[in-house]
A and B are shown apart, each in its own frame.
Chain A
Amino acid sequence: MSAQKTAQDQDDVLAMLADSINVWVGKLSEIVQRIVDVGPIRSVVNWGRIYSLWPVNITTACCSAEFGAASGARHDLERFGVLPLGSLRQSDLLVAEGTITKKMAKRLRMIYDQMAIPRYVIAMGDCAISGGLFHDSYSIVNGAHEFIPVDVYVPGCPPRPEALEQAIIMLQEKIRHSKVYERG
């Protein structure tokens, strides 16, 4: 009887200990997050994120021609750190380039879910903003915001490469003011 009781007591003590340790670890991570967000570490981390915005190679429609022009030698997106290279897991930026059909939206969402946090989305072109020319059609999604959170919208049909550059600069400004542990 007493042996059982002592065993139970031991279990209780262990559980309490584990609970308190968990609480302390949680508190500790909160404290770390707070320190990171107010201190200079945040600006260092954000600086790293700003200049390594690698976009995913996903093309939904014709705005990809302008994206290609922007990535080319004349406009050279790489000077902003935008390098269309690498796999899905290494990418931070998803550019919805043009009209998104309902079939493509499913794939785009799948790609967005596979990207590692932090991840950012640019909706490029009128069609990705509101459906544009094909608004309210039977096969078109009325804007990329219907299935993924969008950070920057670029109007134009298609937008010029300069507009895309401005969008990237705006996104960089947004990242500069964002917190490190925000879920993107």
Chain B
Amino acid sequence: MILSQEREQALIKKLKDRFPSEITEARVVRRSRPEILVKPENLVEVATFLRDELGMDHANGVSGVDYNREARFEIIYHCSSLQNKETRDIVMAIKESIPRNTPKARSLISVWPGVDNFERETFEMFGITFDGHPRMEKLFLTDNWDGPPPLRKEVRFPTD
């Protein structure tokens, strides 16, 4: 088993060279798990670069994190490559941080069509609207659901 992080460092170096100011933070969590923090307005460019130049052709998932004490949401896109055999095990995390009172982000559906349902799920669980998504509506919740987005931190349930 290779424990070196050369591939991840090379990947991050390529990204940092191309986007020096757009990527505010980049690090390797552990082997095969690099992550970058991108400014919300440049997310689509970075994702397009990742797909076209670095071969990240597959979005594994989209998730949201509610940092309510810091008054922000974080959206995390996980993507990986199916075409490059050397970097097939790498799962790259692209994070963006958006303010909590205006939960709006740009959709990445133009880059990876597979994020369709993931973004819908993030929408119904956190109430984050994705601009450019063709069908921004409920996915998993019951049909008669009229409460707030259930995974937000301020939501309380009867016996809490």
- A interface list, Cβ under 8 A from B: 102-103, 135-139
Contacts of B158 in A (CB 8 A): 136
- B interface list, Cβ under 8 A from A: 140-142, 147, 150, 155, 157-160
Contacts of B140 in A (CB 8 A): 139
**What distance in Å separates the Cβ of B37 from its nearest Cβ neighbour in chain A?**
30
Main secondary structure of the interface of B (DSSP, over half): loop
| Known contacts A138-B150, A138-B155; 15 further A-B pairs (Cβ under 8 A) | A102-B142, A103-B142, A135-B159, A136-B157, A136-B158, A136-B159, A136-B160, A137-B157, A138-B141, A138-B147, A138-B157, A139-B140, A139-B141, A139-B142, A139-B150
CB closest residue in chain B, given A138:
B150
Main secondary structure of the interface of A (DSSP, over half): loop
Contacts of A139 in B (CB 8 A): 140-142, 150
Instruction: Give Cα A103–Cα B139 distance, bound, in whole angstroms.
Output: 13
**What distance in Å separates the Cβ of A47 from its nearest Cβ neighbour in chain B?**
43
CB closest residue in chain A, given B144:
A102
Instruction: Give Cα A136–Cα B160 distance, bound, in whole angstroms.
Output: 8
Contacts of A136 in B (CB 8 A): 157-160
**What distance in Å separates the Cβ of A135 from its nearest Cβ neighbour in chain B?**
8
